[in-house]
Amino acid sequence: MMHFKSGLELTELQNMTVPEDDNISNDSNDFTEVENGQINSKFISDRESRRSLTNSHLEKKKCDEYIPGTTSLGMSVFNLSNAIMGSGILGLAFALANTGILLFLILLTSVTLLSIYSINLLLICSKETGCMVYEKLGEQVFGTTGKLVIFGATSLQNTGAMLSYLFIVKNELPSAIKFLMGKEEAFSAWYVDGRVLVVVVTFGIILPLCLLKNLGYLGYTSGFSLSCMVFFLIVVIYKKFQIRCDVAELNSTISANLTNPDMCTPKYVTFNSKTVYALPTIAFAFVCHPSVLPIYSELKDRSQKKMQMVSNISFFAMFVMYFLTAIFGYLTFYENVQSDLLHKYQSKDDILILTVRLAVIVAVILTVPVLFFTVRSSLFELAKKTKFNLCRHILVTFILLVIINLLVIFIPSMKDIFGVVGVTSANMLIFILPSSLYLKITSQDGDKGTQRIWAALFLGLGVLFSLVSIPLVIYDWACSSSSDEGH
């Protein structure tokens, strides 16, 4: 911390060079009283405020030492888009079937815009504190409690996402291998056991990618992963015009109380016992907040404005992909759609469906390392072991992957993952944490009264979402358990 002599003259202070802080955006509308390496004196009214202002600027170095990023804007868009997109895309058609097209579009648009706003709040908080690590940001603002809460929310979100990805591998890869071998679906052998295949894929493909030192290298795999999901979307659209809606088939597969002559007619607004899962599923599909600051920290020539551009591009692209996948998946199977859209397509004699299954499997496999980086860095930050150590890096990576594999073997269903994570960590990361951090950081800033009101409303929306969604999900679980026991 720089110390000032009591006799320092105003002219000397005005010409004093201040160390450049690259974490601060150069946007003209930013309230930064530093210009060309000097402090602008027009806001300074007295010597004490000048000292306070200058010291405040230099204190930002305390949180994170500036390290230049090396990842291009395009690669950052790929990484963030890949962090957004994942298994959530497979559950959106199911969410649409239980809300209707109009209500689903409203929810999808709302969550997209709210997610972009929450990332904006997060970037502002990062700029104000100089923190480029989420846990450090929480500790800087709320102390140890904030650090632990953020660690819990980010770890639960990313672990749930990785579990859902490996759940897809466990369910889909055996069928693909059986088809390639020319075996029937009933064929069973240890090498087509989903649990064995998950372990093989994890330690044969995912482990080497997770051992990379920098996240930026995964931009190439992220781009390929996104290409696979675009191919999946194209096939979903194509199959809509190839598969005809068969009312008789629907009647034979759906319980009698849902059978009606309008099964092949799209619904615009729907309410039923599964509607409660729609918003958590959509929220789960859009959560990428734990990956925002790591991606931001590795962005070349980074600034708040540049990272916001990365965010806007990524979210708009994912909004289009999500809506098209959901609408065409729903219009193919209507009420018969399942929580895993891919599972509805039969691949026995269809090379195209087999190919798209493999593409989705590859896409989710390549997404796991991006999220794994965040979980591991959060763990190191919590343990205050941020300096790179190769042995510790390898050991922690191996142990975490073993734990994730044990969990995925016993996971009940993807719907449960979407429900649990959607109403807990997804809500915390989208609504509650960014707004709480922003309100705390700007508590003494009277010039941001309007922005603080919006942030407070945003926080209230997150609390309301928790109060409504959590009891409904618990009630649905209780009903489902009672139904299973009855059978």
DSSP states of 85-110? -STHHHHHHHHHHTT-HHHHHHHHHH
The Cα 157–Cα 376 span in angstroms is 13
Q: How far is CA 51 from CA 39, 43, 447, in A?
A: 11, 12, 21
* pLDDT of amino acid 346: 67
CATH of domain 80-441+449-476: 1.20.1740.10
Alpha-carbon torsion angle 113, 116, 120, 125, nearest 10: 110
The Cα 275–Cα 96 span in angstroms is 9
The Cα 368–Cα 189 span in angstroms is 27
The C-alpha R_g of the chain, in whole angstroms, comes to 25
* pLDDT of amino acid 56: 39
Domain ranges of the chain: 80-441+449-476
**Ordered per-residue pLDDT tens for the chain, 487 residues:** 444 444 444 444 344 444 444 444 444 344 443 444 444 444 344 444 434 333 434 344 457 667 777 778 888 888 888 778 766 788 888 889 889 899 999 999 999 999 999 999 999 998 888 888 888 888 888 988 988 998 888 888 888 888 888 888 888 888 888 878 877 777 788 888 888 999 999 999 999 888 887 666 666 777 787 788 888 889 889 988 888 776 545 444 444 344 455 677 888 888 877 777 787 788 878 888 878 888 888 888 888 899 999 999 999 999 999 999 999 988 888 888 877 787 777 656 678 888 888 888 888 887 788 778 878 888 887 887 778 788 888 999 999 999 999 888 876 666 666 666 666 777 888 889 999 999 999 887 777 778 899 999 999 988 888 787 777 667 666 666 555 555 4
* pLDDT of amino acid 371: 79
The Cα 277–Cα 273 span in angstroms is 9
* pLDDT of amino acid 218: 65
Count other C-beta atoms under 10 Å from residue 264's C-beta.
14
- Nearest-CA neighbor of 134 among 284, 285, 297, 23? 297
- The amino acid that residue 179 corresponds to is F
The Cα 109–Cα 460 span in angstroms is 19
The Cα 456–Cα 472 span in angstroms is 25
Report the half-sphere exposure of 358 (CA within 13 A, side-chain side): 12
* pLDDT of amino acid 41: 40
Q: Are strands 34-35 and 38-39 parallel, antiparallel or unpaired?
A: antiparallel
- Continuous segment of H or E residues that includes residue 115: helix 101-129
